[in-house]
Structure 1
Amino acid sequence: MSATAGQADGVRSPADRFGIEPGMVVMEMGYDDDVDEDLRESLAERCGELVDEDTDEVVDAVLLWYRDGDGDLFELLTDALGPLADTGVVWLLTPKAGRDGHVEPSEVSESAPTAGLQQTSTVNAGKDWTAARLVSPRGAKKK
């Protein structure tokens, strides 16, 4: 496997940390004026334009910006699963502790399994955001 762009100089880009590759379709949900534009640009540079939640395409990844007060997390995760490919990933981005809209980790750990997802890792997604990687458990079948 060859090094992807951004790794050659030893620095991993956000697109590397998020596992985004050229040609992937990435859907964005929960966009607002507080999102991390550097992260969005890095991901769009790697895969092309981010699609919105009205897309008819099957998507490889979902970027879900979620803040306390944005509605029911379970419902939003369920909505994110609709267009997601069987091997797709939901990246749940939440404000870091101490930031406006911070989401308690317990809310994620309760909502994700109820929606049929499990958290596999967490990454630093910028100055104000943390991202949880959520996937369907291996062997789970979509109905």
Structure 2
Amino acid sequence: MRSALIAGTLLLAIIATIFFDEVRSLECYVCSRQEGNAEKCLTTTKTCESDENACQSEIRWGSTPYWSQGAEKQYYVTKKCAKKEDCEEYVNRFTSSCQRIWYEDWKCGECCQGDRCNYYIIMGAGNLKATWLLSLVTAVVIFRHIFAS
């Protein structure tokens, strides 16, 4: 009986953790047209608005804003909070220009969900939240313990 009470308490704690994770605001890295994924893009974060449920990243490869003949190309990174639907639409709109050919200008985008998931750019930051994974593993252990007794 005591092990069932402990298991029930742990299960309630897991559910509360999941609920709290969904209610609180998302936090994303933010920066605008920075040269590379460095400095501000890795140190500046923002707590997103309640309707913003994704982190959006964009990387552009091209000449400097003040183009001159023979100018070298470089990366420009932008990160921000976004609504998931808007972010996915943005990424889909520019999929055809995401060629990654060194001698052409290109632009790629990415959406992810989870606190600070946009630390890396265009690397498949992932949509699986660590909290969900931890909760799933804990639930499996609890149920195995209950049914093993």
| Greater length-normalized contact order (CA 8 Å, ≥ 6 residues apart) | 2
Instruction: Point out the structure with max Rg over C-alpha.
Output: 2
Between Structure 1 and Structure 2, which shows a larger proportion of helix residues? 2
Q: TM-score range by the shorter chain?
A: under 0.3
TM-score (norm 2): 0.23
